[in-house]
Amino acid sequence: MKELLQRFHDAIVNHQLLLPGERVLLAVSGGVDSVCLFLLFHQLAQQRMPVAFGIAHFHHGLRGASADEDAAFVAKLAADAGVPCWVEQADEGWWHREQGTKMEAARRLRYAFLERVADEGAFDRIALGHHADDQAETVVFHLLRGTGLRGLTGMPVRRGRLIRPLLGFRRQEIETFVRENGGTWREDESNVSDDYTRNHLRHHLLPMMSQYNPNLVATLQRMADVLREEDRCMQELAEETQRSLLQGDSLDCAGLLALPVALQRRVLRSFLERQAAQVDLPYVDYVLTTDLLQRLQRQCGQAGAVGSVGRGALVLSRGKLTVASIWPPRANDFAYPVPLPLGDEPMRLEVPEAGGALIVERLPAAHWQLQAQPQERFVFFLAPEAVRDGTLLLRSRRSGDRIALGSGSGRKKIKDLLIDAKVPRQARDQIPVLLFDDEVIWVIGQRKDGRYRPTANSTSVLCLRWQGGESMAKIFDSE
């Protein structure tokens, strides 16, 4: 398929993915897309343009012998071609030390490895093997999850030194090219299972949608390209507007609220992202910006804290918005947004500081009504409708935290709750608390706010299960 090599060359030239003399590092997993990427660059270097490249492979340590064979396959691929290769395996049990879900953490580790190798090997670009079908899948996934304009733009062909030269190619033609060039590849067995949402989209939803539009992948690709330009224009306008409202490290509140709502969200997002490192804010999303803007409207210019942002707060004073650090970090302090499942696939949130993990699963209401034991202290069933319009956060206890007692009995300090439960002082900060927006609704292992439990009208339930309850129970029952 010489035509495919020509198109690959044209994509690199037209998108200016590589400039003369630049070196490129290929991320090669061993799958068909990354093998195709390797073969194309190998042929490109021999026939079309001089380009120096190397290979990098990250072993996550999650799939046992199969992953070992993937690493060996990639190393042999590089050795046979005389190409420099870097292979690294993650430390054992790394997911216990990383924030977020295991998939998110794995991606962070993989990209950090690629950046590190690129620095050490003096590579100017890092090439990834994402193709057009991946792009369509990403756009639909974001659409189902709920997203703004930026989420519908999919993956860019270039961002920083990351490049995706295969985004204009279909998976079928990639497989054909590898076969015709005598190549083989590794199959990741986890890609076959429908237990993962993305796999279900790939195997079922996208083929069904293609029955209504046979050119679905090309259509979604074209839409993403158009929206990317629209998003870039909007973002440039937002950043220009933000600069006009900035006064040192403060933002003019009246000027912000006078903007159209779409610009309000973007300007506030850019402002918070500038301050993110100061308050350990992992990301800024639609839920956070919308909530803060609604609070600002209700506040009517009155000075005070608007709402929590990371380990700090957005504060209004004398008409100006600032981000203040109100909770000094402690060695064992933590705060994690709780991921909610889109379908039947459970989500897992590792919390190494508390020695456990939170499993979140969406279940039929009948499961709760007929089988569950709501009195279990390490399981909390929530009504999805009760937490639909806010944010769930799992964090460590903080001074002044309180929880509602129910039946009109008011609220109680969590510190007093743990003292009454005879939890040792040194262990109290290890007890996670679950918040809905800014309100504590579950002190894990101790008390739940019953207002958020499912009702007879609930059609489904969210099951939150703390994994690691045995060791926590020993703390509670030690006295």
Question: Whose CA is closest to 278, among 328, 229, 234, 224?
Answer: 328
The two structure tokens encoding residue 387: 């937490």
pLDDT in tens, 299-347: 777 776 787 787 777 888 888 898 876 544 555 677 777 777 766 678 7
32 has binding-site annotation: yes
| Placement of tokens 């029952």 in the chain | 477
Give this prediction's pTM: 0.67
pLDDT tens-digit readout, 360-416: 888 887 665 544 444 578 888 888 888 876 678 888 888 788 898 766 668 888 888
**pLDDT score, position 479:** 46
pLDDT in tens, 102-126: 677 788 889 999 999 999 999 999 9
Is 304 annotated in a binding site? The answer is no
Report percent pLDDT > 70 for the chain: 88
284 assigned ligand-binding residue: no
Give me the domains of the chain, ranges plus CATH numbers.
2-222 (3.40.50.620), 248-325 (3.30.465), 335-476 (no CATH)
Q: What is the pLDDT of residues 26-78, one digit of tens each?
A: 999 999 999 999 999 999 988 878 899 999 999 988 788 888 999 999 999 99
Question: Binding site annotation covers 66?
Answer: no
Of 31, 32, 54, nearest to 42 by C-alpha is 54
31 is in an annotated binding site: yes
Instruction: Answer yes or no: is 29 a known binding residue.
Output: yes
Contact 110, 60 (CB under 8 A): yes
CA geometry: angle 29, 33, 36, nearest 5 deg: 105
Distance CA 180, CA 143 (A): 36
Q: Band the pLDDT of 258: cuts 50, 70, 90.
A: very high
Paired tokens of 41: 């660059």
Model confidence at 429, pLDDT cuts 50, 70, 90, reads: confident
Compute the distance between CA of residue 297 and CA of residue 266 in angstroms, rounded to an integer: 17
What is the overall mean pLDDT for the chain? 85
Residue 163 burial (CB < 10 Å; 0-12/13-18/19+)? buried
Cβ(262)–Cβ(231) under 8 Å? no
Q: Using CA atoms, how far apart are residues 89 and 186, in angstroms rounded to an integer?
A: 18
- Mean pLDDT comparison of 90-104, 260-274, 276-290, highest-scoring range: 260-274
Does the pLDDT at position 93 exceed 80? Answer: no
